[in-house]
Chain A
Amino acid sequence: MAKRAAPEINAGSMADIAFLLLIFFLITTTMGTDAGLARMLPPPLPPETEAPPPVNERNVFVVLLNSNNQLLVENQYMDIKELKRATKEFIENPFNKENLSEKKDQQIDFFGLYPVSKGIISLQNDRNTQYQAYLSVQNELQAAYNELRDELSKRKFGKGYADLDEEQQKAVREVYPQRISEAEPKNVGTKN
């Protein structure tokens, strides 16, 4: 057989094909930026359970959110900007005030015996509360916890909470456990 040079394939249209595909992917693409506020729901209660033991009133930080998106914190009107500071003060209770949360010494890795707050945040909202208002409150509470944990880890380990290793993070979380309880919503003075 006589040897013949294989005719070269014209690659000029390659760019066009690639462009076509590129444009297709450009249009259908949505970058994976899914983020949100993470929360755990309490497990469903079995039908006949005893009422939980009453919690000392000073250990409960009551946050109410009405249908006009107004905040009532511990029976006082409060602006959302104030909420983070108030929450931090309630949990940390730096001067061991009578009306803020109690503390109980607990054995924790890295820290030894450490006074851990027994405070619980009770959040209650109306059925007509705006979703964004509710999320803002959740966000502020989360921010309060995040800042407390961050400050503690800076004091103890000299770096931010996010830079700690898993064991250390766990210890810090034990010092400031996140206790947010959500009551069933009420219908306070609304139509439906």
Chain B
Amino acid sequence: MAPISTASLPDIIFMLLFFFMVSTTMKEVTFKVQIRTPEATEVEKLEKKSLVTYIYVGVPLKQYQSMFGTEPRIQLNDAFATVNDIQSYIASEREAMKESDRPKMTTSIKADFDCPMGVITDIKQALRQAQALKISYSTRKVEKNS
């Protein structure tokens, strides 16, 4: 029996490779807080990645708990932050955007489902002060069961 020709194997692999290269988006930050995404049915997709600023909220991961405690904390980019840092963070993110994109800026709040609303409310107030009014509560889509 003649051996199966493997000459087209690289082509197949390359095709897969290109697919993943195109569809991939690098993870920008390493989470320092635990985030279990809450669920909702009426979700809307966030349109453009470049318009979105993220705020992470959750209990610090095990290795940070000795320093930052077990209360829910805010993470901006790669560092822990407080509510007071949000305004300057939004300002710098807005500065980095193109002029024409700035009004379309969206802030996505990625918070753990078990967070108390207090911290979320504080963030919302800070965002209001920073004029970042378009927000999105990050959720996982579940199907309606009705």
Contacts and interface: CB of A to CB of B under 8 A. Distances in A.
Interface of A: 11, 14-15, 18-19, 21-22, 25-26, 28-32, 34-44, 125-132, 134-136, 138-139, 142-143, 146, 184-185, 192
B43 interface: yes
B111 interface: yes
Given A29-B24, A39-B136, A138-B137, A34 B45 contact: yes
Given A21-B17, A41-B133, A139-B42, A15 B117 contact: no
Specify the main secondary structure of chain A where it touches its partner: mixed
Given A18-B14, A35-B139, A135-B40, A128 B131 contact: no
Contact of B52 (A19, A34, A44): A34
A135 B138 CA distance: 10
28 contacts: A15-B13, A28-B24, A28-B27, A29-B23, A29-B24, A30-B24, A34-B49, A35-B44, A35-B46, A35-B141, A36-B139, A37-B42, A42-B128, A43-B133, A44-B131, A125-B117, A127-B117, A127-B118, A127-B121, A128-B118, A130-B113, A131-B111, A134-B120, A135-B137, A142-B42, A143-B42, A185-B118, A185-B121
Interface of B: 6, 9-10, 13-14, 16-17, 20-21, 23-27, 38-46, 49, 52, 106, 108-109, 111-118, 120-121, 124, 127-129, 131-141
Contacts of A21: 17
Contacts of B133: 40-43
Nearest to B45: A35
B10 A131 contact: no
A78 B138 CA distance: 26
B139 to A, nearest CB: 5
A11 B7 CA distance: 9
B62 to A, nearest CB: 21
Contacts of B139: 35-37, 135, 139
A43 B128 contact: yes
A85 to B, nearest CB: 11
A126 B117 contact: yes
The 9 closest A-B pairs by CB, nearest first: A127-B118, A36-B136, A25-B20, A132-B113, A18-B13, A35-B43, A131-B115, A142-B42, A139-B40
Given A30-B25, A38-B106, A42-B133, 9 more contacts: A34-B138, A36-B109, A36-B136, A41-B127, A130-B113, A131-B117, A132-B113, A132-B114, A138-B137
